[in-house]
Chain A
Amino acid sequence: MRSDFYDVIIVGGGVAASVAAYNLSFSKLKIACFEQGDFEKNSSNYKKKKLNFLNYRKLNINPNIRKSKYDYRINDEDSDISIANYNGVGGSSVLYSAHLPRFLPDDFKNKSLNGVNSKWPLSYNSLKKFYSQNEKILGVAGLTGDTSYPDKINNLMPPVEFGPAVCKVASAFKKLGWHWWPSYSGVITKRIDSRKKGTITEPNNSYWPKAVKNKIRLFTKSKVLKILSKKNKATGILYLDEKKKLREKYAKIIIVACSGLGTPRLLLNSKNKYFPNGLANSSGLLGKNLMLHPLGWVEGRFPEFLKSYSGPQGCSIYSTQFHKNKNFQKGYTIQILRESHPVEHFVMRKKLKQLNFGKNFFNDFLKYYGKTISAAIICEDFPESKNKITLDYKNLDCDGMPGVKIFYKVSKNSKKMISDGIRNCKKLMIKAGAKNIISFGPVKHTGWHIMGTAKMGRNKKKSVVDQNGRCHDIKNMYIVDSSIFCSSSGMNPVSTICALSLKISSYIKKKLKNV
């Protein structure tokens, strides 16, 4: 077999790609992955004290601030929410807070706002075994028996300890008679593989090492510029290698896993005479129906020192109490978040003009330190065709590939949800004993869950891929990332990305075996 020919080429090195690579690595297929970025050596350690400072530059969530050579420009001037992502092996999981809940069964059912249907062509039940498989491989800590789900989520490590401040809020949930449950945290609480207790679980310490061990070729610093195609078939990729040399590789099957932003960017940039509007875009929906998770914020300050910085990063406990509501379409979830590291804490206080350097700095700092706890209101966003991404030819990246322009407005429905969420979270904080409460939303820098830009569906006129992730227009090309989501849920998407990628790659494996 020619050295530049593979059975499967996976474009991307993030979460979805790692899962597909892992799953396919148990076959005899010849597989290669192409990732434009590199390994981030600080990835699994970045939450350590010293490395928190990297958040402000090298590991900033906003690529327009980070300006890594692997990033591309994202023009968000016309967007209510700015995008957060990471381009490198592990993708955005390099920076994530590792909250790993499943979507709820209801999230896969029919809903619509402004005429866009968000029904999935698959059900929660069809993803169940893949969710479970992912929880075992990636490693998820939590408590079995969550009443939000019809089935028992097993395979969980013991829950992460969340400390007295979160306990106070949990008691308040209880007093109000509202649902609450410990979060599904990506934190090792019981030693699995070679990962020590306290390690953040991520593809770079779970899926990728196993896939690479199983002889998957992972090309880093290799930027795919275009997917090559003839008529209705993808033939390979055109990419710049580590030395910026233009190369081509060919494959029987192409899997695209570049995220809700990178996937439409690549496919739109791959237009040719057969596909003048972009690859797999006969529906015209590529890049449209962008969903983010509009977010509201409520912070309570307690009079006593509560060590409120204890607990998992991201989310300690969560609630689906308002996931369904008569006052608006669908609903929101509430996530209770511990206080952040002192430096992040300080930066926030500074932005809120509550704290300044000076003689009284430390005493002022102590008015807040260890005493605050926050509730994030995560709204289910609906697909709307006016919310979209397009190629931005005015902002080319360092290799001349177009950047991305975002058009996104927070819907009236989301704004209603945020107001309702803020009201309810204030009630919650008061019940918990907080004395000073601040709130705001929608929060601008929260576009980390990017979904829906290559929608899944049975009807080829109304979707980009079918229920198996296969492009309607190109039968040997699949998409496995969050761009294929039909709805956004109020839940963090990583578990669902992993479950879908496992499902689709299992289908591909079976299909290639039959061939």
Chain B
Amino acid sequence: MFKNKSYYKKIFNELIPSSKKNNFLSFSECVNIEKFFKDIEFIDFETFSIISKKKCKKNQVIELLGDYILESYFLSERFNERLVNIEKNFFDINRYTVNQSDLLKELKINEKKN
């Protein structure tokens, strides 16, 4: 589910106070923001108001959005559930012949020899 451009524009407008608008490039010029949003269906757009109160310059907006997207995605339940499943499905301790305690025992034996 990809959000359409008008939705991004709405968020952009929400982020930048109207009194400050003249100081910023238009939305269409802020292509980086558009790129950020592309394909990121996992973002909870409803919570964008948490950064809307900040008075930001264009670069800061981009950085904040970037951070926000990263944070929202990497902390999302969905992402973390997927990681847990990956660990369950792909990691099998029995496949690994060398384990830490064997290695450490060997180090201790060698130390005594020295």
Name A's B-contacting residues (CB within 8 A).
49-50, 53, 56-57, 143, 145-147, 159, 161-164, 166-168, 170-171, 174, 181-182, 304-307, 342-343, 346-347, 357-359, 361-362, 366, 369-370
Contacts and interface: CB of A to CB of B under 8 A. Distances in A.
Chain B interface mostly: helix
Contacts of B40: 357
Interface in B49-101: 67, 69-71, 74-75, 79, 82-83, 86-87, 90-91, 93, 95-96, 98-100
B85 to A, nearest CB: 11
Given A143-B107, A346-B74, A167 B100 contact: yes
A231 B95 CA distance: 72
A164 B102 CA distance: 12
B86 A305 contact: yes
Interface string B2-38: 0000000000000000000000000000000000101
A53 B90 contact: no
A357 B38 contact: yes
B82 A362 contact: yes
28 contacts: A49-B75, A50-B75, A53-B71, A56-B67, A145-B107, A147-B111, A162-B100, A163-B100, A166-B100, A167-B98, A168-B96, A168-B98, A170-B103, A171-B98, A171-B103, A181-B107, A304-B90, A305-B87, A305-B91, A342-B83, A343-B74, A357-B38, A357-B39, A361-B39, A362-B82, A369-B86, A370-B86, A370-B90
B70 A346 contact: yes
Given A49-B75, A50-B75, A358-B38, A305 B90 contact: yes
B45 to A, nearest CB: 15
Contacts of B104: 143, 159, 182
A174 to B, nearest CB: 8
Contacts of B70: 53, 343, 346-347
A167 B107 contact: no
A306 B91 CA distance: 7
B78 to A, nearest CB: 10
Given A171-B103, A182-B104, A342-B74, 12 more contacts: A53-B71, A145-B108, A147-B110, A164-B93, A166-B100, A167-B98, A167-B99, A305-B86, A342-B79, A358-B38, A370-B86, A370-B91
A164 B36 CA distance: 35
Interface of B: 36, 38-40, 67, 69-71, 74-75, 79, 82-83, 86-87, 90-91, 93, 95-96, 98-100, 103-104, 106-108, 110-111, 114
A358 B83 CA distance: 18
| Those 5 A-B pairs whose CB atoms lie nearest each other, nearest first | A305-B90, A145-B111, A343-B74, A164-B96, A358-B39
Contacts of B111: 145-147
Contact of B83 (A145, A170, A181, A369): A369
A167 B100 CA distance: 6
A154 B57 CA distance: 55
Nearest to B102: A167
A181 B111 CA distance: 11
Contacts of A170: 98, 103
A347 B106 CA distance: 38
A180 to B, nearest CB: 8
Contacts of A49: 75
Contacts of A163: 100
A53 B67 contact: yes
Nearest to A152: B111
A167 B38 contact: no
Pick the most buried of A50, A146, A307: most chain B CB atoms within 10 A of its CB.
A307
Contacts of A369: 83, 86
Contacts of A362: 79, 82
Nearest to A143: B104
Contacts of A168: 96, 98
